[in-house]
Amino acid sequence: MKSKIVGFLVALLVGATLVWAASYTTGLNLPLTDNSSLNTALQRIDAHLLRVVRDRGYEGQIFCGDLGNATTLYMGPGDAGAVRGTYTDLHIAGTACSALDNATEATADAPLYTNIPLSIQGMHCALSGAVASAVVFTARSAAANLNPSVTCTVAIGATDCYVGAGTSSPPTVAAGATMAVRSVTTTDLSASDAWCEVFYSMKAT
C-alpha cells in the first residue's frame, strides 16, 4: 500500500518521466531526482508517511548496534527489561547501542513485554553513513523470522530503509517472546553502525 500511495503522489507531482539521481530521501529511501523543487516535495511526502505510522498510535522499539565484516549479526532491543524507558545514548554509534549487537542471537535478543502479545506494523532502519554494499535488516522473534516477514534493505549509497507490514493480518509476537533485528552484510562494514525502530501495537490478552 505504501508503494502505491508514493507512486500516486509522485505521479501527481511530476506528470512526466523522471531522471533519477543517485540519492534518496532521508526516511523511506525514496529515489530523488535532478529537480530540486520536486526533491523538496518528495522529502515532505517522506516525512509525512513516517508521521502517519506514528500517528496511528503505534509504539516504536529501538534495536541498534554495529555492523559486521561480511557476516550476520543480531541487534537487541535498546530499552527492554531493566532499562525500559531509558533512551540515553540509544542513537546510531551511541555507547548503549554499540553494546546491543552480537553474533549469537540468544545473547542479543530479549522480550519487550512479559505478558502482552504484539502486532508488528513496520520497521525503519538507518545507517551511520552511506555504504558501498547493501545491508539487509529482518525483524525476528523467538529466533525466527516474523510471518509474514518484515525485511528492508538499505541500498548502495543510501542510509535508510522502511517496510510496512503490508497485510491485513500483520505478523504477531507472542507474549514474552524474544525479539531482535538481524543485519546481513556481504562486505566489511564493521566501521558502520545501524539503528532500527520496529513499530507495533499491543494486542489484548
Q: What's the CA gap between 15 and 109, in Å, rounded? A: 47
Q: What is the CATH number of the domain that holds 107?
A: 2.60.120.380
Averages of pLDDT over each 10 residues, the chain, 205 residues: 46 42 59 79 69 62 92 87 51 81 96 91 91 95 96 93 80 95 95 92 76
**CB 152 within 8 Å of CB 108:** no
Instruction: Verify that 34 and 82 share a domain, yes or no.
Output: no
Which pLDDT score is estimated for 85? 43
Domain limits at 187? 58-202
Q: Which of 10, 35, 54 is the last residue of a domain?
A: 54
Instruction: Verify that 17 and 73 share a domain, yes or no.
Output: no
Which pLDDT score is estimated for 186? 95
Instruction: Verify that 62 and 44 share a domain, yes or no.
Output: no
Which pLDDT score is estimated for 99? 87
**Within a 13 Å sphere around the CA of 135, how many CA atoms are in the beta-carbon half?**
36
Instruction: Verify that 36 and 85 share a domain, yes or no.
Output: no
Q: Where do we find the cell 503522489?
A: 9
**Within a 13 Å sphere around the CA of 48, how many CA atoms are in the beta-carbon half?**
10
Instruction: Verify that 116 and 48 share a domain, yes or no.
Output: no
- Count the domains in the chain: 2
Instruction: Verify that 128 and 158 share a domain, yes or no.
Output: yes
Instruction: Verify that 110 and 174 share a domain, yes or no.
Output: yes
Instruction: Verify that 44 and 94 share a domain, yes or no.
Output: no
Instruction: Verify that 101 and 165 share a domain, yes or no.
Output: yes
Q: Which of 186, 137, 128 is nearest to 158 (CA)?
A: 128
Q: Which of 36, 54, 72 is the last residue of a domain?
A: 54
Instruction: Verify that 110 and 144 share a domain, yes or no.
Output: yes
Instruction: Verify that 26 and 64 share a domain, yes or no.
Output: no
Which pLDDT score is estimated for 55? 47
Instruction: Verify that 45 and 63 share a domain, yes or no.
Output: no
Q: Rounded to two decimals, what is the model's pTM?
A: 0.71
Q: Which of 30, 54, 78 is the last residue of a domain?
A: 54
Q: What's the CA gap between 179 and 112, in Å, rounded? A: 7
